[in-house]
Structures are given as C-alpha cells and as structure tokens.
Amino acid sequence: MMANITELSDKTFNDETSKGLVITDFNADWCPPCKMMNPILEKLSSTDELGDKIKFTSMNVDHNPDTPNNFGIQGIPTFIIKKDGNIVGRMVGYQPEEKFRLELEKYM
C-alpha cells in the first residue's frame, strides 16, 4: 500500500471515514485503470495543499465486498468523497490528475 493512503476494510470503513474530509478509492488488484490512478493518488496525498486537508483511503473490493455493495459500486475505480460521514461526491473511472485535483478542491 502507498505511504500516505490508509487501507480500509469492511470493519474499519465507518470509523475511518466518519470525521473530516475523506476520499476512498474502491479498487482491485486486477484493474488497469485502478493501477493508473495509484501514482496520482500517491502524489496528491503527499502534497501539503491536499494531503494535509483530505484523508486518502483505499479499499480492495475483492477482499471487502460488503461496503462496496452498500454503496452500489458497480465499476472500479470508484472514488467516494465523504465530509463528516456524509457522502458529498463520487467519481467513477480513471481521472486525469488535474481533473481529479480540481474535483477534490471543490470540497475543501
């Protein structure tokens, strides 16, 4: 797992995403677009402007089926943005870095 990104499980998801601004990357090891997003997530989570204001998390949908099912996730990668436990945004599929950054900045 990447240094600045917290790996979540079905058991830890609610506690880890209930406070502050949190983005969760729902992904799988076999997913090429998910792998393409990894360097973008790592870079953005390491920046002062985003990494200090947004908690970056990740969940493997193959190892944790309950949470993705609860959120109706049908395609990966899917990114859910929560603020104080409430879903405020969702993105699906590969996102170019600048578009992804601009989307996250809307919630800060």
What's the pLDDT at 54?
A: 95
6 is catalytic: no
How far the first Cα of the chain sits from its last, in Å, is 25
Q: Which of 27-36, 49-58, 85-94 has the lowest mean pLDDT?
A: 49-58
Categorise residue 85: left if φ over 0, alpha if ψ from -120 to 50, beta otherwise: left
Distance CA 16, CA 56 (A): 10
The answer, yes or no, to whether residue 11 has pLDDT greater than 70, is yes
- Domain ranges in the chain are 6-106
The answer, yes or no, to whether residue 23 has pLDDT greater than 80, is yes
pLDDT digits (tens, 9 = 90+) for 50-67: 888 999 999 999 999 999
24 is catalytic: no
Q: Which residue is catalytic, options 31, 50, 54, 81?
A: 31
The answer, yes or no, to whether residue 12 has pLDDT greater than 60, is yes
Mean pLDDT throughout 21-27? 98
At 23, the amino acid letter reads: I
Superfamily of segment(s) 6-106: Glutaredoxin (3.40.30.10)
Q: Which residue is catalytic, options 22, 34, 37, 104?
A: 34
H/E stretch holding 73 reads none
The answer to whether 28 touches 37, Cβ cutoff 8 Å, is no
Give the residue from 31, 88, 86, 19 showing the smallest Cα distance to 55.
19
Instruction: State pTM to two decimals.
Output: 0.95
Distance CA 79, CA 104 (A): 10
What is the average pLDDT score of the chain? 95
Pair of tokens at residue 75: 């395609």
